[in-house]
Amino acid sequence: DQQVKQNSPSLSVQEGRISILNCDYTNSMFDYFLWYKKYPAEGPTFLISISSIKDKNEDGRFTVFLNKSAKHLSLHIVPSQPGDSAVYFCAASARAGANNLFFGTGTRLTVIP
């Protein structure tokens, strides 16, 4: 029973345009959310996070939006670059059980030059 879902296994975007990656969760106890990026033959690397007390967090070209009522978060990449091509994982955690991050299945982003 997946508590974090990424329903789009892949996404293709033209270079310079916006990439929007979506993530849904079912556990209302989740209050901290993270995005990880994974290149082939490498482990996931931490990208950006957001606490449930916020609805937006921005870091350079990357912005994460959180809609608690919809149990939905999204990662926006603007402008998209070919080097952004990777698999993006959404993860969530509840402070009560903070020793476990629940991951989605990932979305493969391809940025076309």
Partner 1 sequence: ETGVTQTPRHLVMGMTNKKSLKCEQHLGHNAMYWYKQSAKKPLELMFVYNFKEQTENNSVPSRFSPECPNSSHLFLHLHTLQPEDSALYLCASSQDWGGLSYGYTFGSGTRLTVV
| CA-atom Rg of the chain in angstroms | 13
The yes or no reply on residue 42 touching partner 1 (CB under 8 A) is yes
Q: Which is nearer to partner 1, 74 or 79 (CB)?
A: 74
The span from the CA of 84 to the CA of 58, in Å, is: 16
To partner 1, the closest distance from the beta carbon of 94 in angstroms equals: 9
Interaction of residue 46 with partner 1, rule CB under 8 A: yes
Which residues between 73 and 112 bind partner 1 (CB under 8 A)?
Answer: 89, 91, 93, 95, 98-106
Decide whether 62 or 103 has the Cβ nearer to partner 1. 103
Count, residues near partner 1 per rule CB under 8 A: 25
DSSP β-ladder status, 19-25 and 72-77: antiparallel
When asked if residue 32 is in the footprint of partner 1 (CB under 8 A), the reply is: yes
Say if residues 61 and 78 touch (Cβ distance below 8 Å): yes
What is the sign of the dihedral through the CA atoms of 68, 99, 43 and 40?
Answer: negative
Nearest to 56 by CA among 77, 39, 74, 71: 74
| Helix, coil or strand: residue 83 | helix
The residue among 77 and 104 lying less far from partner 1, judged by its C-beta, is 104
Point out which residues bind partner 1 (CB under 8 A). 2, 4, 32, 34, 36, 41-46, 49, 89, 91, 93, 95, 98-106
